[in-house]
Chain A
Amino acid sequence: MTMTVPEAQRFAHVARIGAPGAVLALRGEVPGEQAARGARVNATVAADDGTMQRQIIVAEKLAEGGEGAVFTTNVSGYVAKIYKRDKITSDRLAKLRTMISKPIRYAGICFPEAILFNSSNEFIGYLMPQAKGVELSKSVFMPMLLPTKFPRWTRKDTIRLCLTILDKIRYLNDRRVILGDINAANILVVSPTEVYFVDCDSYQIEGYPCSVGTANFTPPEVSGKDFKTFLRTQEMENFAIATLLFMIMMPGKPPYSAVGGSSPAENIRTGVFAYEGKDDVVPPGKWGFIWNHMTYKVREAFAETFKKGGSHFTPPRRYSTTEWAELFNGYLSSADNMLRNDPMAMDIFPTRRKMKQCKYEGCTNKFIPTEENLYIFCDLHIRRPRAQATAQTGAYASAGGARSYGSSVKQAVRCKNPVCGKTFTPTRGRAEYCDDCWRQVGCKQCGYMAAKWMHDERGGYCQHHAYLAKTTPSVTKPPTASKVTSQPAKSNVPWGAIFGWGFGILIAILIISAIASAGR
């Protein structure tokens, strides 16, 4: 802990769960009870923040849920949640009274700030800051929707999103608020740095439990238990935090729903986690590529947390928000370096493994690990199939396989970019693509600069415009004049993200608008 929160600002530590309450029978009205969504209610209610009371107006019904409905109010930036009759209970009122007794004020945390009473002075709901954005569950957690909701995002943005969320959870945990039901439907995203936490009245404080939860976010020690019957610990919270981070980085994929497993709850109990921290063990398929491109430290942290016997598997050893933030900050600061090593490093959905450095002694070439090169050697140091071999002699081919090549053997090879296909003599750091293909070129649409071969993988576009070209026919197709360039980029690598596109485009827009306004 870098900063200590004064005890007066923290909720008390309570070890025993409070007694359940009862439904309060109302004599007065529940404003907007029968109103449809979008209907105007315009009811006057009393808002009590614990020190003073004032009349406010509950205006328009915004949304309805299982517990109640949310309304706009005449208090700028605030909305009212009004419970359904059968949810208006004595323990809810007591919990809210405790909640408003501490100043929980932090950007994006829609914590209750005042309790609302009807004209008969009966408890009906609470006032909270208004949230914005789209639910994590309807954006980042759905790989099919993520590119439509946040088309310009790269992995830098998902890392930043993790950091933003970690910061808010830490603020709450530091004040002894346990979120408990960490849930993708209760986190709204505007941008990687603007995030809103909603449904905060369900959070656990003092002896009031968070009475709900979901299997994926429930640690093995309380698996299958009724959430109403116990208080969660910080250790349990840390398990849910690890799950949330995993599901952001592997969009929507829960850690324990690996291929071939049984139910998530069962896998959580037995600690069956299908991903390995080690560099060379890559799970099959596309989820494996996403996993493989993460930094070693982050992968290791996940594996040690989720795998039975891992060094952070036992509850007290689980990583804290501070430790996760350190790991993700490290990831973010190495992002540019990772991009230099592999232009696909910041794709949210990479379409191949991470590039590696050749294991041949003294060789610094980077290559894409495949079955053909045994995941170990660059093209220069691996025996290519006979049909493709150019200057290969029988002696080389039979003299003990891969390692028989000397690094001094420099024969011409074919550039791996299918759009290029030129032959070239490999040099240090240039084993797979020719110098031409490493040249920086601009995206056909926006001019964003990247290595030519990376653009060619996407038909000449950056990540964002390759996506747009796929979904909207109005973006011009690549020219098809010459036979060489008309060869389409491999169809399985169409639109992944490279470099900080969103960022680049944003800067470009800023510069353009600055120039435009300066001219006026």
Chain B
Amino acid sequence: MASWIGLDDLVDNPTSRVAISLCLDASGSMSGAPIQELNSGVAAFYQAINQDEIAKYSAEISIVTFGPVQKETDFQTVATQSRPPVLHATGDTPLGEAVKLSLDLLDERKQAYKDNGIDYYQPWLVLMTDGQPTGSAPVLDAQVARVQQLAADRKLVVFPIGIGASADMTTLNRFSAPRPAFKLQGLNFQSFFSWLSASVSRVSQSTPGDGVPIDVDGIKSWSDFKF
């Protein structure tokens, strides 16, 4: 069977995809407990997706980190890549540049879906940071506008999440406007990613184009946010 599935997942796997871009702060300030918790949260996310027989062929995850803006992994199903890369904390917080890379990769992937005739759900962007953006302001502004446009066109679901007391919630709020951004309870990455995997499983069983059924109540498990 393995050989029929082959390497070309885009050709052989007709399952409708949900692309999830994790754009994660791995700057120096995240070192120690935060990056460890983040790593174990992401690992648990992969594991939970892998246990769902549909989501594992449907969810495609890409991870971009900043410190130096880096593509840790391009979009792949968990069936193809079952473990996430280990993230290391170093460098500044070029938030705008990282979001740009995430969105560019997302655009590429959507084009690949179209070229191969694969249905896809509204993609997700999860943006996590614990500090102030240090990159270029015009780049950041451009990305905020891009994200807002995509969200308004219902072409993207955005989850901006602040970690800790010094997270720049003002900037994050711009990404989720008119709704305020989320704030993680302490370092509760585990609860967030378990909520995210449950949401992804739910999406992967719905119908493309139907809109994303978000479990609002579940958000309380990892954020104090009120709708």
Interface size classification for chain B: 20 to 34
Chain A nearest Cβ from B125, distance in angstroms: 21
Q: Are A258 and B205 in contact (CB under 8 A)?
A: no
- Let me know if A144 and B119 touch, CB within 8 A: no
Q: Which of B6, B15, B117, B209 is the one whose CB lies under 8 Å from A215?
A: B209
Q: How far is the CA of A194 from the CA of B214 in the complex (A)?
A: 35
Interface of B is mostly: loop
Q: A254 and B119: CB pair below 8 A? A: yes
Q: Are A470 and B117 in contact (CB under 8 A)?
A: no
| Of B3, B57, B115, B117, the contact of A492 (CB 8 Å cutoff) | B3
**Bound complex: CA A287 to CA B10 (Å):** 12
**In whole Å, how far is B53's beta carbon from the nearest beta carbon of chain A?**
6
A215 and B79 contacting across the interface, CB-CB below 8 Å: no
Find out whether the CB atom of B119 lies under 8 angstroms from the CB atom of A257.
yes
Query: Taking the complex as formed, is A502 at the interface, i.e. its CB lies under 8 A from any CB of chain B?
Result: no
Known: A215-B209, A254-B119, A258-B117. A349 touches B4 (CB 8 A): yes
Is A215 in contact with B14, judged by CB distance below 8 angstroms? no
Interface string of B99-119 (1 = CB under 8 A from A): 000000000000000111111
- Say which residue of B12, B13, B14 sits within 8 Å of A254 (CB atoms): B14
Query: Which of chain B's residues 39-58 have a Cβ closer than 8 Å to chain A?
Result: 53-54, 57
CB distance from A149 to the nearest CB of B (A): 9
| Cα separation A446 to B77 with both chains bound (whole Å) | 36
Measured in the bound complex, the distance between the Cα atoms of B118 and A258 in whole Å is: 8
Distance in Å: Cβ of A518 to nearest Cβ of chain B = 38
B14 nearest in chain A by CB position: A252
The CA of A508 and the CA of B189, in the complex, are separated in Å by 54
Contact flags (1/0) for A56-69 with B, using CB distance below 8 Å? Answer: 00000000001000
Provide the A189-220 mask, 1 if CB < 8 A to any CB of B, else 0.
00000000000000000000000001110000
B209–A147 CB distance below 8 A: no
Q: Which residues of A contact B12 (CB under 8 A)?
A: 143, 286
From B1, B11, B12, residue with most partner A Cβ within 10 Å: B1
B152 at the interface (CB under 8 A from A): no
Which of A145, A257, A351 has the largest number of chain B CB atoms within 10 A? Answer: A257
B33 in the interface (beta carbon within 8 A): no
CA distance A471 to B3 in the complex (A): 12
Q: Are A467 and B1 in contact (CB under 8 A)?
A: yes
- Interface assignment of A138: CB less than 8 Å from any CB of chain B: yes
Question: Is the pair B3, A494 in contact by a Cβ cutoff of 8 Å?
Answer: yes
A263 in the interface (beta carbon within 8 A): yes
Instruction: Decide yes or no: A470 and B119 within 8 Å by CB, A144-B13, A215-B209 being known contacts.
Output: no
B56: nearest chain-A partner, CB-CB: A144
**Chain A CB within 8 A of B28 CB:** no
**Contact present for B117 and A143 (CB under 8 Å):** no
Q: A260 contacts which chain B residues (CB < 8 A)?
A: 115, 117
Interface string of A234-261 (1 = CB under 8 A from B): 0000000000000000011110111111
Partner of B1, one of A138, A147, A183, A492: A147
Q: Is B5 an interface residue (CB 8 A)?
A: yes
Note all chain A residues with C-beta closer than 8 A to B116. Answer: 259
Contact status A143-B114, CB under 8 Å? no
Contact A142 B54 (CB under 8 A): yes
The interface residues of chain B lying within 8 Å CB-to-CB of A471 are 1
Q: Residues on B close to A: CB < 8 A?
A: 1-6, 11-15, 53-54, 57, 79, 114-119, 205, 207-209, 213
Known: A137-B54, A144-B5, A215-B207. 5 other contacts (CB 8 A): A138-B53, A260-B117, A261-B114, A494-B2, A494-B3
A interface residues (Cβ-Cβ under 8 A, vs B)? 66, 137-138, 141-145, 147, 183, 185, 214-216, 251-254, 256-264, 285-287, 349, 351, 467, 470-471, 491-492, 494-496
List 5 A-B residue pairs with CB atoms under 8 Å apart, sorted by A's residue number.
A143-B4, A185-B205, A254-B119, A260-B117, A286-B6
